[in-house]
Amino acid sequence: MIRYLPLTLLAVLGACDRTPEARNDAVVATPSPAPTPSATAASLDRYVDRYPLDDVAGKSFLAEPRVAALVEGVVPDREVRARVLDRDVTATPIVLRDGRILSHGCEPHNCGAHNWTIAIRPDGAGGAVCYYDQDRNVGRWYPEGAGAPVVDGCPSGDE
């Protein structure tokens, strides 16, 4: 047995010089698919029953980027775009009609003769702008044909 002692000691001492293998305990995260813009953007129906300038979660309906993008995208006339998005407006509460949000505004003290409506889906995709100016004999939808002919003003949702 003593004969084997040097061999045993040699084996034990040789094992002392070894470093243990590194363990990889890192958890690998499975990437989740990126949410679509419509899934991350809050629905515009949160503005229903509010006025277009009311602050909802930090911004008004007229300051909502999807609303501004719609107006910029469908109305080629710079003056009409500026008027529709202007903060100097008399307005009615926003309503939901036929799957579209309607925001109706008009020129203060001249509502019957000069008014407009933004019509947009709650998800912000697609929409149109109605513009009526009796003095200039203008009553139309942007884009053309997006709504019924405009005769006595834009729809307010009260009809």
In a domain, 50, yes or no: yes
Domain residue limits at 116: 45-142
In a domain, 86, yes or no: yes
In the chain the beta strands, taken as DSSP E runs, fall at 90-91, 95-97, 100-106, 114-120, 127-133, 138-142
In a domain, 110, yes or no: yes
Give how many domains the chain has, as a whole number: 1
Whether residue 32 has pLDDT greater than 80: no
What integer pLDDT is reported at residue 6 of this predicted model?
47
- Tens of pLDDT, residues 115-126: 999 999 999 989
In a domain, 57, yes or no: yes
In a domain, 151, yes or no: no
In a domain, 11, yes or no: no
In a domain, 4, yes or no: no
- Tens of pLDDT, residues 62-110: 999 999 999 999 999 999 999 999 999 999 999 999 999 999 999 999 9
In a domain, 32, yes or no: no
For the chain, the straight-line distance linking the first and the last C-alpha, in angstroms and rounded, comes to 108
